[in-house]
Amino acid sequence: MSMEAQLNIEVRSRILEYSLFIEKLINDLLLMNLGLYDEKEKTRLFSNKGKLTFQNKIDLLFDIEVLSKIENSEFELLMNIRNKFLHDMDCSSFQILLQQLDNGIVNRFKVFIEKGKSIDNEKDYEQACYKLFQKNIKTIKEIIRKNTASRKIKSNLVQVQNEQIIYYIDFIQELLNKVSIATENSELEHPKVAILGEEILKILEESVQKLNSESRTNIYEEFFNSNENIKAVFGIKGELKDLPKWDEFKIKK
């Protein structure tokens, strides 16, 4: 096998590896933002037999405002490179690739070439493609981080509401107890005042009994012990699973 043919296979294999890795993460990112967890194989669009293309997926992420215009463009750039290397037998190097692409795509790619590097050096082009791949990975990691932070904020908000409700219940019960004790210890000499005092005491006793019997200070604890309740609140479909540990995803240059 000639050196040129060997280069062809190496480049194509590397681009394919980048593309498959990114598409898997894009698929997972889309599932997460649609509230689908661990049910990929049960869906018609996201299973291995799904009909959504990589372009469809990044377009959908852009439409639901998960990806910015620039981030969407960077994913499309890797997709364009991937399509040329995998579907055009004559595209055996980056120099040939850039001759075939329009100027807009070429200029977007050249942004990833390190300053001071030659724009006609094949190795520098390969390094720029790897840099683009890493940028796409970084984008997905940042989106996951923001989603995780958002869910934590929602959880904290519910916790604060829970604590506030418990505070009010304790406050009301303490108030009723104090009024009840004060009424019992008062010297109600006037008959009408005595009757009024007895009526107030009766109302307070009934209120305390009702508060003790109907108060549910653990309502949120009970609520969040149910996975179904959590999924309903946060718009999750499928089973709850921990988010992937991104440090495990590494591809060598």
Using one digit for the tens of pLDDT, what is the confidence trace for 75-113? 999 999 999 998 888 888 888 888 888 999 999 998 898
Give the rounded percent of residues in the chain with a pLDDT score beyond 70.
66
What are 172-194's pLDDT values in tens digits? 777 777 776 766 666 656 666 66
What is the domain count for the chain? 2
Query: What's the pLDDT at 225?
Result: 63
Give the closest residue to 220 by CA, choosing from 136, 168, 163, 182.
163
Separation of CA 61 from chain center? 12
Same structural domain for residues 130 and 167?
A: no
- Distances in Å between the Cα of 42 and the Cα atoms of 45, 48, 140, 201, 243 are 9, 10, 24, 62, 19
Three-state DSSP state, 234 = helix
Same structural domain for residues 32 and 94?
A: yes
Domain of 177, in residue numbers: 154-235
The answer to the question of residue 253 being in a domain is: no
Same structural domain for residues 44 and 121?
A: yes
Same structural domain for residues 229 and 168?
A: yes
The answer to the question of residue 164 being in a domain is: yes
Same structural domain for residues 27 and 117?
A: yes
Same structural domain for residues 145 and 158?
A: no
Please state the pTM of the whole predicted model: 0.62
Same structural domain for residues 164 and 114?
A: no
Same structural domain for residues 219 and 114?
A: no
The answer to the question of residue 125 being in a domain is: yes
